Amino acid sequence: MNRQGYSSLNPESLPGPHDISRTALKNGITLLVRPNINTLSVSIAGYLQAGSLYDPLKKLGLADFTTSTLMRGTKKQTFQEIYNSLESMGASLGTSCGAHTAGFGGKSLADDLNSLLEILADVLQEPVFPEAHIERVRSQLLTGLDIREQDTSEMASMGFDQITYAGHPYENPGDGFIETITAIKVEDLVNFHKTHYGPLEMVIVIVGAVDPDNALKLVEEKFEGWTNPKQPAVIQVPDAKRLEKTIRKHHTIDEKSQTDIVLGVVGPPRNAADFYPALLGNSILGQFGMMGRIGESVRKKAGLAYYAYSSLTSSIGPGSWSVSAGVDPKNVDLALELITEEIRTFVDGPVTSEELKDNQSNFIGKWPLTLESNGGVAGALLSIERHQLGLDYFKRYEEMVSAITPDQILKAARKYLDPDRLAISTAGS
């Protein structure tokens, strides 16, 4: 068994300035392309500034509803024609909605990239929101919300956001509520699209069996003429206030065998100086091996849960640092006690140098696996662009992670985590 440190990353084999082409189009779109001749396919990914933070309060879910209906028909193609093209070539294309941005992603065989981009450009720029389809999608969304009401994990997570971000834009669920989805009219979708969809700070990433010059030519053809003078400035979110004391809330859902727990605090934004110490700390707390210290305590020693882990979100604004677990309803208090105790220990003293080394090694070693597929590379490049990490991110990565110390982790832990000021949300019987 090799107990030594980690494999060094080979910067030449990882995406970097030597093989990523980054171009800023005149209308505000940034294009990143990374060729990969070892594959037969291409992956695309990207986002534009039309996330759920732009929702009016009475129409929460509007941004999400909009992304769900973009592909329901355009000026040129019907819903069936769009999907017939995609599915006939064995391609996929989907849209999604986050808090800050609306996202898209897809893949196709290399020869079909032109067609895939053609469809993408069409659905983003010229959707028509046909009424019959809007009602159909509304039924799907409402059914999704009915199912959410019965999902202990989703309801615990939503409850956590409501406690943690009370009064902050992150408080609200991106998929809205039954009454807000019901209130949205076709013209709301049309107007939301007209206002928020445009090239301002939009990003497109293309990875795979593609020549970068050709990719640029295709994107210029299909996107460079797109303008939207109405598009508002990119939304900025304020800091979120920390709780003064622990707040615990339970959401009752009858007849559930398991209760879900989500507890935690406001964490750092992705671009904070202490994000990496916090991320490594989070790995030690509830990720590494079989879910870190929390997994050791709650699953392995106490046998209370199949899953018990911690997460740190990578967010433009103040993210969350939370712990999730699913336990028998009669064990909720015991699980909370064990988790809180682990958090207390975590802020009481530094992680050991062995824990730190193990986790640094994990962080460095996992990139080749994350980046083996075109989709994996596309996701990483999108994150690099979103958070302005620089094309040389992978070149700097090893040094950056290796430089983190137990003191930096402890400082970050104490800044964000406090076992006496937690948002605790549970959902179940």
**Taking the complex as a whole, how short is the minimal distance between the CB of residue 122 and other proteins, in angstroms?**
16
Residues β-bridged to residue 247: 423
Stretch that binds other proteins, among 27-35, 232-240, 356-364, 400-408 (CB under 8 A): 356-364
- 186 neighbors 132 (Cβ within 8 angstroms): no
Task: Determine if 288 is a binding residue for other proteins (CB under 8 A).
Answer: yes
User: Which of 28/144 has CB closer to other proteins?
Assistant: 144
Instruction: Count CB neighbours of 190 within 10 A.
Output: 15
User: Which of 77/164 has CB closer to other proteins?
Assistant: 77
The C-alpha atoms of residue 266 and residue 334 are separated, in whole angstroms, by 24
Among 25, 109, 183, 216, binds other proteins (CB under 8 A): 109
The C-alpha atoms of residue 332 and residue 304 are separated, in whole angstroms, by 9
The interface mask with other proteins, positions 360-399, x = CB under 8 A, is: -xxxxxxxxx-xxxxxx-----------------------
Task: Determine if 147 is a binding residue for other proteins (CB under 8 A).
Answer: yes
Tokens matching residue 12? 């030449």
Could you list the beta-strand ranges (E) of 98-202: 102-109
Q: If we measure between CA atoms, which residue out of 225, 230, 223 comes closest to residue 193?
A: 230
Tokens matching residue 328? 């028998």
Size, binding site for other proteins by CB under 8 A: 75
Q: What is the 3-state secondary structure (H, E, C) of 354-419?
A: HHHHHHHHHHHHCHHHHCCCHHHHHHHHHHHHHCCCCCCHHHHHHHHHHCCCHHHHHHHHHHHCCC
Site residues for other proteins, window 394-413 (CB under 8 A)?
Answer: none
Site residues for other proteins, window 65-94 (CB under 8 A)?
Answer: 79-80, 83-84, 86-92, 94
Q: Exposed (0-12), middle (13-18) or buried (19+): which is 310, by Cβ within 10 Å?
A: buried
Stretch that binds other proteins, among 121-129, 193-201, 213-221, 249-257 (CB under 8 A): 249-257
User: Which of 182/236 has CB closer to other proteins?
Assistant: 182
Longest distance between any two alpha carbons in the chain, whole Å: 63
Among 56, 58, 76, 140, binds other proteins (CB under 8 A): 140
Task: Determine if 6 is a binding residue for other proteins (CB under 8 A).
Answer: yes
**Look-up: residue for tokens 């949205």?**
184
Which DSSP string corresponds to 67-121?
HHHGGGBBSS-BHHHHHHHHHHTT-EEEEEE-SS-EEEEEEEEGGGHHHHHHHHH
User: Which of 50/291 has CB closer to other proteins?
Assistant: 291
User: Which of 210/266 has CB closer to other proteins?
Assistant: 210
Site residues for other proteins, window 8-27 (CB under 8 A)?
Answer: 10, 13
User: Which of 298/391 has CB closer to other proteins?
Assistant: 298
User: Which of 417/427 has CB closer to other proteins?
Assistant: 427
Among 241, 306, 396, 414, binds other proteins (CB under 8 A): 306
Length of the chain: 429
Task: Determine if 182 is a binding residue for other proteins (CB under 8 A).
Answer: no
